[in-house]
Structures are given as structure tokens and as C-alpha cells.
């Protein structure tokens, strides 16, 4: 068994926490796991990439280009940037939020449209799920729950970790007062991908 | 918060090193924050029962640890790769005096330059200092090797270098915790020994042969060192490797024979010969310089590696695989079709955060010295910069990037002030201004400024004081008055410090008051004496104070684009129309864009 996940987005979206939880959940399910983050030098607003690897035995913490089974992009541009890392048969879960980098804000470069995002990702794979995660997290009452919502989406495709294990790992990382809303976000994410999958 | 008792944990290399040191009984730990090493001291500071401190710089940190080791306790100094440059003096001194309690120095290298001013392979420094070097290849070894390093240090009367890298420090893997904390119960006592600790030439000459003898004994130990291990496989290819490169090599060559080295200086020559004799082709897979390869070649063995493995940048399984294909070790393959399309996407460079106290001053600097070339009707540049800005290392180095473009040099910690003086003394026609952050100033800017006073340097120094070491994740420093373990200490006031060395022209300006900043800079540039402006404002990430986000009134906005010159990530554009992302705008505590807008189109958003 091996499952390689790449979680990408923009600094401040809670990617490192989400990938920590995936690693701990995999470990709790009895697998070997390694995870690593590349953050760059900015505190906020830079590209963030987390590699999470799960298997019977994991060597490299970094996933090889072309080996990613699940790409979870918390932001569209950062999702499509890592498209070449997807394995044939891999899936991409993309939050439809766009955070334009300064070159786009200043009109110097073009931000890809939703169609372009899906087209580029579909060059390598068939299953691309565009999720309206940010809006749903906002509707839930706290935009910061986006990471748990995305985690819920991801969990749909990690069948060897039980729902209780996910929730235990989530709660271990958050203060008690944040448990309820984040578990709600996780459930919402699960439903989202389950719906899209059955459609 | 890392638990010190659970038996199996998913830990980063840094957390594992901290826990390993804690269980090995470390009593004093000192560091200056630096990516990717910062979390080692941060984790240790949370454990208690150990003195863990942020020192003013790496040299001081290592001297603190050395003093503790002289007193007989186990001590640790951790730093990033360039930190060991700063600490090289005490590191070399420790290598010759030796220790009493174990002394471990952790150097976290940064291959690929994720967050450093350069790339360097600090394995060379173990050879330079003639001290043993250990290299973990995952978090388990990071944990296990700490106890081994302390033990080696005490047994061989030497500091031990533990060399990590970004990928070891910043990746998490499963650690099975084998120990609990054991601390030596011997009373803390400094044993007077002038011949060992006072490095007058006469004594240093006596110590010198001991260093060489120590190295011979360490090389003997390396032959049976349990972390130097042969993993037999297909004998047609033998791979010598260490650190994270071992993981990449195992991934790419699952069937090959391996000699994995946990101790990379001094090398186990007999073991290497034995391994070489077992395999048909011998290669080395290592990150950065051909450190192992050259040593093995010097032994007279036929070995390759850097002929196809890049010596620049961080390795990964893809790079190792591509190199192996190029070298004919693996069959050729095609690259995926998506790669080409993805290469053309807009980049996302690091930025100053919304509400950053550095934005206003860099905007002032970018405009006041006419650094922006303003194009005339023919598209030719009509104005040239009249101001040279020597820069330093911190978040504010991002002021060098567009659209601010307000920094001309960045070399190493504290360099801005000496460089500015050098330019003044060389006679450059432009005004010269040095820009440094509070933590960097306390790290190694002070000596440069004292030098400026002494040598009568007519320069302007801007100290950007955000009351934290921001880029590495908001560590305290002597200016904040809070220790690494959260105790209140005496805060060093920058203005008192600067006045204390004889500088009369010292101003403190609010980082979010554009007019005051502009006035202060203008006056300082006209001054004939050394002047210091302390630009003070809290880091917007460390002190969140989001209140009353601003908004742009589309009717008043004439799309002049001046607000985009701030490079604030909260100011976005939709088809040329500027708007402010209310979810990230700091609002009342900043208002720099509002002060700037010529149309007065920016105001507090309607609730």
C-alpha cells in the first residue's frame, strides 16, 4: 500500500496543520508515514506545499513528480502549479478560491480561469473536483475552518482511516472551544466529495 | 507542545533532536533563531528543567554552551548553516580545548536556499575543526543520535557536530522513544585546568597533538559505529550515502547495496573498502559538495557521484532518478505533458504581510530617493536613484522585491552598517542609508554601528523595530524583555543603546505614519552627522489587531495604481479595479494605503 498526498495553497490557509493531521491519522491507522512542508521565507501569502506520504514503509519525505495520488489545492493557482506531480489515475481536489499574486493584481500576468485550471489538471488525470470550500467555511462562521473542510474532502479518498480517528486527531490539535465548528467543517467536506463522487 | 513521554510520535527532525537532547540530560541550550534550525530551541524551551535561551547571536550561543560544558553539564548550541559561520570562532576554540560535559553543536544546512543568503555544505567544518560529525537521515535517527553525540563528546573530550538539513529538520516521521530523561547527578563544578582551558600559545601548542590523536581514535570508532551500516542488496551497484540523500537513494534504487553513514567525519575507511570490494560499481549519492566522494577517491577507490548528481540545490527523488538515467544507471523515461504548461503560470513571490510595519518605510524609501525610474513621454527614464540603501537579513529583505525595490545589498547578518560606511568612505556620490531590523541589529549590527561612530561615518541608519524576530516565527530577543522560556527580563531599549555609544541624532518614528516617516528620512538625509531613525511598529502577525478593514470607494478611485506600489497583499485588482480584501486587511492599526491615496478614495469599510 502507498498513498502520496500533496497539499498546496497560500501561507495562512492552515495547510501545515491539515497535513500534520493526515500524517498522524495514518500513523494511528498503523502505517508508516512521513510529511514535510516547504514554506519559503514569507510569514503569510507565499506558496505552501506539504508532502504527505503513507505506506507500509516510506523512504523519501518528498514525493516524486508524477507520483501524487491526491492533490488537494486550497487555492486554484497553487493547485494547478503542482499538476505535473499527479500520477495517472490520481485525483485533484481544488478549492475554487483565487488569491491573485501581486503580478496579477498589477495586471502583468494572467490568472488562470476555472476552465483552464480544470483543463491543465485534466491533461494528466481524469478526476478533478472543484469545491466551493472558502464560501462554505465562511457560511459556517469561520473562514479558518477551510483546512478542516478540505481535510474532510481528502478523507473521502483515504479509506483506511476511520472517521473517529480523523476526529480524534483534529481535536488533539485544536483548543476545546474550536472542536465543534471544525468537526462540522470536516463533515461538510466529507459530504461535499461524497456528493460529487456519486454525481 | 511535544510530549516527552509518549512512546511513538510523529516528530519533525528538529523536535526529535530537542527531545533526544532532553532525554540525554542536556542542562543548558542556547541558540539564535534561523531557518531551518529554530524549532530545536523552541521545543527544548517548552520542556523545563533545562536552561534554554535565545542568545544575541550564534557566537554567543556557542560560548554559553561551551561555558556550561566546561562546568561539566551537557550543553547544546543549535543554529542554521550560516549561523555556524558567526560561531566559527568559539567552535574552533572548543575543538582545541575540548569539554568536560558533553557539547553538541547542531548545524542545519539549507540546500536549495529555501531561506538563507547562500548555500554551503557545513560538513567541511567538521573536517576543519577536526571534530566528529553525525548525520541523521530521519527523525528517529535525529532523536537517537543526540544521546550518541553527547556520549562521543564526553568520551573523546571534543565538541560533536550534528549536521541536519532543511529536509531532515522540517520533515516529520515516526519516532519510537527509547528513553526518559536522565541527568548526571555529579555536582556542577568547574575544575581549574589552565593547560586545558586557557589557550595561550604555550597551552594551545600542548593541546594541538591531542586533537590529532583524538581524530585517530574517532576514526577507529567509526569502523564499528552502529549507525555506519551496510545494507546488502544487488552487488552490481553499491551506493555510499548519508542524511536525507539516503532516503532518496533508497527510493530510486530499491534493490542496490547500500553503505549508509551516520557518522560522516572521520570516515570508516576499512568499512568503505570492505563495501567497495563487495560491489561492482561504487557511487556516492550526497547533497551539495562531493564531501564523501572526494574522501573515498583519496583512499584510492574508483568512485563516481557528482559527475551526474547535482552539487547545487536540494536533491529529491526526481532529481536523483533523472541523474541516474543520465548516468545510464536507469533506463531513460519521458517527462509528463503537464510540466510545460505549468511552467508559465504566474509566480507567487514572498511578500510583506498585510499591515506589516515595514511597508510604509519601504514605500517612503522607494519614492524619496527617486529610486523608481519615472518614464517620460518617450518611454525613457528621466530620473535616477539618488540614494543607496544597504540592507540586512529579515522579513524586511522583502523590501528589495518589486514593487518596493528599496534595497541595494543584502549579504549577511549585520552587514548593512559596515557596508554603508564602506560606501561612504569610498566616496559614492549618492546618500547612503543602512536598513536593519531590531533582532539583526542586536545580533551583529551593534558592532558595526560602534565602528561607524568611531570612524566618523556620515551615514543614516534605519532600525526597523517590530519588537520580534519575525521571519523565523516571532522569537523574543534582548529588546523584547522576554526570555525564550517566557520569563520577563530587562529589555534593552534601542534608543538608549544607540545614544549610549555617543549618537546624538536619534529619532523614534511610528511605522504607520507615512508623513512622519518621510519627514524623518528627509531630515536625516540632509544631516552631516551619523543619524539613527528607529521605525517602530508591531509585527501584524505576532500582534493581530484586525479592526475596521479599509475599503476603496470605486466612485472616487481613478485607477491611478499608487496603492499597488505598496505591494500590500490585501490590495487586489479585478480587471484593473482596485479593491481591498477585508478578510486580511489590518484596518485601523495600519491605514498606510489610506494615507497614500491621492483621491482619498480609501476609508473604513461600511460595516
Q: Provide the pLDDT for residue A104.
A: 86
Residues in B touching A7 (Cβ below 8 Å): none
3-state secondary structure B7-75: CEEEEEHHHHHHHHHHHCCCCEEEECCCCCCHHHHHHHHCCCCCEEEECCCHHHHHHHHHHHHHCCCCE
Q: Provide the pLDDT for residue A81.
A: 94
**What percent of chain B shows pLDDT beyond 90?**
86
Decide if B569 and A46 are in contact by the 8 Å CB cutoff.
no
* Residue at a domain's end among B209, B224, B239: B224
B448 and B568 housed in the same domain: no
B177 and B233 housed in the same domain: no
Q: What domain range is B599 assigned to?
A: 550-604
All structural domains of chain A with their residue ranges: 2-198
Burial class from Cβ neighbours inside 10 Å (0-12, 13-18, 19+) for residue B226 reads exposed
Structural domain includes residue B94: yes
Q: What is the pLDDT of residues B444-477, one digit of tens each?
A: 999 999 999 999 999 999 999 999 999 999 999 9
B256 and B220 housed in the same domain: no
B238 and B299 housed in the same domain: yes
From B336, B348, B350, residue closest to A41, measured CB to CB: B350
Q: Would you say B51 and B101 are in contact if contact means Cβ atoms under 8 Å apart?
A: no
Rounded-to-integer distance, Cα B450 and Cα B414, Å:
12
**What percent of chain B shows pLDDT beyond 70?**
95
Q: Provide the pLDDT for residue B6.
A: 74
Domain at B460, CATH number: 3.40.50.970
Q: Would you say A188 and A194 are in contact if contact means Cβ atoms under 8 Å apart?
A: no
Structural domain includes residue B436: yes
Domain at B276, CATH number: 3.40.50.920
Establish how many alpha carbons lie within 13 A of residue B279's alpha carbon, considering only the half-sphere containing its beta carbon. Answer: 29
Mapped onto helix, strand or coil, the DSSP state of residue A127 is strand
Establish how many alpha carbons lie within 13 A of residue B73's alpha carbon, considering only the half-sphere containing its beta carbon. Answer: 22
Residues in A touching B350 (Cβ below 8 Å): 40-42, 45-46
Of residues B355 and B334, more confidently modeled: B355
B269 and B189 housed in the same domain: no
- Please, which residues bridge with residue A2 across strands? A55
Q: What is the DSSP string of B236-286?
A: EEEEEEEHHHHHHHHHH-TTEEEEEESEEES--HHHHHHHHHH-SEEEEE-
B472 and B525 housed in the same domain: yes
B539-562 mean pLDDT: 92
Structural domain includes residue B343: no
Residues in B touching A29 (Cβ below 8 Å): none
Interface test with A, best of B247, B566, B569 (most A CBs within 10 A): B569
Q: What is the pLDDT of residues B163-174, one digit of tens each?
A: 999 999 999 999
B146-151 mean pLDDT: 98
* Residue at a domain's end among B224, B256, B280: B224
Interface test with B, best of A8, A11, A16, A44 (most B CBs within 10 A): A44
B504 closest CA partner among B519, B524, B526, B521: B524
Interface test with A, best of B338, B355, B546 (most A CBs within 10 A): B338
Decide if A107 and B342 are in contact by the 8 Å CB cutoff.
no
Q: What is the pLDDT of residues B43-60, one digit of tens each?
A: 999 998 999 999 999 999
Structural domain includes residue B340: no
B124 and B68 housed in the same domain: yes
Decide if B250 and A60 are in contact by the 8 Å CB cutoff.
yes
- Please, which residues bridge with residue B435 across strands? B462
Which of the four pLDDT bands, split at 50, 70 and 90, describes residue B522?
A: very high
Structural domain includes residue B332: no
Q: Provide the pLDDT for residue B337.
A: 56
Report strand pairing: B229-231 vs B256-261. Answer: antiparallel
**DSSP 8-state assignment for residue B429:** S
Decide if A27 and B341 are in contact by the 8 Å CB cutoff.
no
A2-198 in CATH: which number?
A: 3.40.920.10
Residues in B touching A38 (Cβ below 8 Å): 114
Q: What is the pLDDT of residues B551-570, one digit of tens each?
A: 999 999 998 889 999 999 89
Q: Radius of gyration (Cα) for chain A, nearest Å?
A: 16
Total structural domains within chain B = 4
B163 and B284 housed in the same domain: no
Across the A/B interface, how many CB contacts are shorter than 8 Å? 160
Residues in A touching B349 (Cβ below 8 Å): 46, 101-102
B464 and B569 housed in the same domain: no
Cell of B226: 552502529
B310 and B423 housed in the same domain: no
Burial class from Cβ neighbours inside 10 Å (0-12, 13-18, 19+) for residue B376 reads exposed
Structural domain includes residue B146: yes
B423 and B518 housed in the same domain: yes
From A24, A62, A112, residue closest to B345, measured CB to CB: A112
CB of B48 less than 8 A from some CB of A: no
Report the first-to-last Cα separation within chain B, whole angstroms: 38
Q: What is the pLDDT of residues B250-309, one digit of tens each?
A: 999 999 999 999 999 999 999 999 999 999 999 999 999 999 999 999 999 999 999 999
Average pLDDT, chain B: 94
Smallest CA–CA distance, residue A81 to chain B, in Å, is: 5
Chain A residue with Cα closest to B173: A34
Structural domain includes residue B81: yes
CB of B170 less than 8 A from some CB of A: yes
CB of B339 less than 8 A from some CB of A: yes
Q: Provide the pLDDT for residue A39.
A: 79
Structural domain includes residue B600: yes
CB of B345 less than 8 A from some CB of A: yes
Q: State the Cα angle at B444 between B453 and B402, rounded to 5°.
A: 100
Q: Provide the pLDDT for residue A102.
A: 81
Rounded-to-integer distance, Cα B465 and Cα B166, Å:
28
Note down pLDDT in tens along chain A; length 199 residues: 999 999 999 988 999 999 999 999 999 999 999 999 987 666 677 899 999 999 999 999 999 999 999 999 999 999 999 999 999 999 999 999 999 888 887 778 899 999 999 999 998 899 999 999 999 999 999 999 999 999 999 999 999 999 999 999 999 999 999 999 999 999 999 999 887 665 4
| Chain Cα centroid distance, residue B220 | 34
Q: Provide the pLDDT for residue A199.
A: 47
Q: What is the pLDDT of residues B194-229, one digit of tens each?
A: 999 999 999 999 999 999 999 999 999 999 999 999
**DSSP 8-state assignment for residue B113:** -
Rounded-to-integer distance, Cα A122 and Cα A80, Å:
10
Amino acid at each position: 500500500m502507498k498513498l502520496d498526498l500533496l497539499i498546496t495553497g497560500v501561507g495562512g490557509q492552515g495547510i501545515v496543520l491539515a497535513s500534520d493531521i493526515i500524517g498522524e491519522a495514518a500513523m494511528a491507522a498503523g502505517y508508516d508515514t512521513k510529511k514535510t512542508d516547504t514554506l519559503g521565507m514569507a510569514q503569510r501569502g507565499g506558496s505552501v506545499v506539504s508532502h504527505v506520504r503513507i505506506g507500509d514503509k516510506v523512504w523519501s519525505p518528498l514525493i516524486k513528480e508524477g507520483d501524487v495520488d491526491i492533490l488537494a489545492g486550497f487555492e486554484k493557482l497553487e493547485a494547478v502549479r503542482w499538476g505535473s506531480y499527479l500520477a495517472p489515475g490520481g485525483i485533484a481536489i481544488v478549492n475554487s478560491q483565487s488569491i491573485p499574486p501581486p503580478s496579477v493584481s498589477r495586471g502583468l500576468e494572467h490568472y488562470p480561469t476555472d476552465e483552464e485550471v480544470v483543463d491543465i489538471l485534466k491533461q494528466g488525470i481524469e478526476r478533478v473536483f472543484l469545491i466551493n470550500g472558502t464560501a462554505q467555511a465562511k457560511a459556517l462562521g469561520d473562514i479558518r475552518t477551510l483546512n478542516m473542510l478540505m481535510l474532510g474532502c481528502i478523507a473521502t479518498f483515504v479509506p483506511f482511516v476511520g472517521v473517529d480517528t480523523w476526529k480524534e486527531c483534529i481535536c488533539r490539535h485544536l483548543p476545546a472551544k474550536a472542536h465543534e465548528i471544525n468537526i462540522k467543517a470536516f463533515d461538510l467536506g466529507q459530504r461535499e466529495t461524497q456528493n460529487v463522487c456519486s454525481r | 507542545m511535544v510530549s516527552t513521554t509518549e512512546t511513538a510520535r510523529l516528530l519533525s527532525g528538529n523536535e526529535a533532536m530537542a527531545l533526544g537532547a532532553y532525554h540525554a540530560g542536556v542542562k543548558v541550550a542556547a541558540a539564535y533563531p534561523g531557518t531551518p534550525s529554530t524549532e530545536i530551541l523552541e521545543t527544548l524551551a517548552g520542556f523545563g528543567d533545562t536552561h534554554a535561551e535565545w542568545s544575541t547571536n550564534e557566537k554567543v550561543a556557542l560560548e554559553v554552551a561551551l561555558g556550561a560544558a566546561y562546568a561539566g553539564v551537557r550543553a547544546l548550541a543549535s543554529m542554521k548553516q550560516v549561523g555556524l559561520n558567526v560561531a566559527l570562532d568559539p567552535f574552533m576554540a572548543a575543538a582545541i580545548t575540548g569539554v568536560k560535559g558533553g557539547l553538541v553543536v547542531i548545524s542545519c544546512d539549507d540546500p536549495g536556499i529555501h531561506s538563507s543568503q547562500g548555500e554551503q555544505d557545513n560538513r567541511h567544518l567538521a573536517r576543519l575543526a577536526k571534530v566528529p560529525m553525525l548525520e541523521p537521515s530521519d527523525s528517529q535517527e535525529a532523536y537517537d543520535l543526540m544521546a550518541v553525540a553527547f556520549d562521543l563528546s564526553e568520551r573523546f573530550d571534543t565538541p560533536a557536530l550534528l549536521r541536519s538539513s532543511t529536509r531532515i529538520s522540517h520533515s516529520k516521521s515516526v519516532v519510537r522513544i527509547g528513553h526518559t530523561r536522565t541527568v548526571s547527578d555529579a555536582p556542577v563544578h568547574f575544575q581549574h585546568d589552565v593547560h586545558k582551558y586557557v589557550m595561550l600559545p604555550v597551552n594551545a601548542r600542548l593541546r594541538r597533538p591531542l586533537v590529532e590523536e583524538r581524530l585517530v581514535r574517532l576514526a577507529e570508532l567509526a569502523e564499528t559505529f552502529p549507525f555506519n551500516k551496510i545494507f546488502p542488496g544487488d552487488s552490481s551497484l553499491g551506493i555510499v550515502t548519508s542524511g536525507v540523500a539516503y532516503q532518496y537513494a533508497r527510493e530510486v534504487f530499491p534493490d542496490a547495496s547500500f553503505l549508509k553513514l551516520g557518522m560522516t567525519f572521520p570516515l570508516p575507511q576499512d568499512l568503505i573498502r570492505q563495501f567497495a570490494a563487495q560491489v561492482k560499481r561504487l557511487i556516492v549519492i550526497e547533497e551539495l559538495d562531493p564531501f564523501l566522494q572526494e574522501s573515498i577517491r583519496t583512499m584510492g577507490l574508483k568512485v563516481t557521484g557528482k559527475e551526474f548528481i547535482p552539487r547545487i540545490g536540494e536533491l529529491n527523488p526526481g532529481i536523483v532518478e533523472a541523474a541516474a538515467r543520465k548516468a545510464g544507471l536507469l533506463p531513460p523515461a519521458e517527462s509528463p505533458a503537464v510540466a510545460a504548461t505549468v511552467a508559465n503560470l504566474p509566480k507567487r513571490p514572498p511578500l510583506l504581510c498585510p499591515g506589516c510595519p515595514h511597508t510604509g518605510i519601504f514605500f517612503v524609501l522607494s519614492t524619496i530617493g527617486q529610486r523608481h525610474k519615472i518614464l517620460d513621454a518617450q518611454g525613457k527614464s528621466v530620473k535616477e536613484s539618488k540614494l543607496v540603501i544597504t540592507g540586512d537579513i529579515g522579513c524586511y529583505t522583502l523590501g528589495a522585491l518589486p514593487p518596493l525595490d528599496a534595497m541595494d545589498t543584502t549579504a549577511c547578518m549585520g552587514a548593512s552598517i559596515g557596508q554603508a560606511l564602506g560606501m561612504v568612505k569610498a566616496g559614492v556620490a549618492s546618500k547612503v542609508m543602512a536598513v536593519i531590523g531590531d533582532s539583526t541589529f542586536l545580533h551583529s549590527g551593534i558592532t558595526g554601528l560602534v565602528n561607524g561612530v568611531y570612524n566618523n561615518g556620515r551615514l543614516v541608519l534605519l532600525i526597523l523595530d517590530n519588537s520580534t524576530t519575525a521571519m523565523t516565527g516571532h522569537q523574543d530577543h534582548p529588546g523584547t524583555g522576554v526570555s525564550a522560556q517566557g520569563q520577563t527580563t530587562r529589555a534593552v531599549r534601542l534608543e538608549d543603546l544607540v545614544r549610549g555609544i555617543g549618537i546624538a541624532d536619534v529619532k523614534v518614528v511610528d511605522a504607520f505614519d507615512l508623513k512622519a516617516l518621510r519627514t524623518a528620512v528627509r531630515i536625516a538625509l540632509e544631516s552631516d552627522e551619523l543619524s539613527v531613525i528607529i521605525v517602530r511598529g508591531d509585527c501584524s502577525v505576532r500582534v493581530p489587531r484586525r479592526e475596521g478593514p479599509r475599503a476603496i470607494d470605486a466612485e472616487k478611485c481613478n485607477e491611478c495604481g499608487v496603492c499597488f506600489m505598496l505591494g500590500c497583499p490585501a490590495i487586489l485588482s479585478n480587471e484593473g479595479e482596485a479593491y481591498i480584501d477585508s478578510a486580511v486587511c489590518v484596518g485601523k492599526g495600519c491605514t498606510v494605503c489610506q494615507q497614500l491615496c491621492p483621491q482619498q478614495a480609501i476609508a473604513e469599510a461600511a460595516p
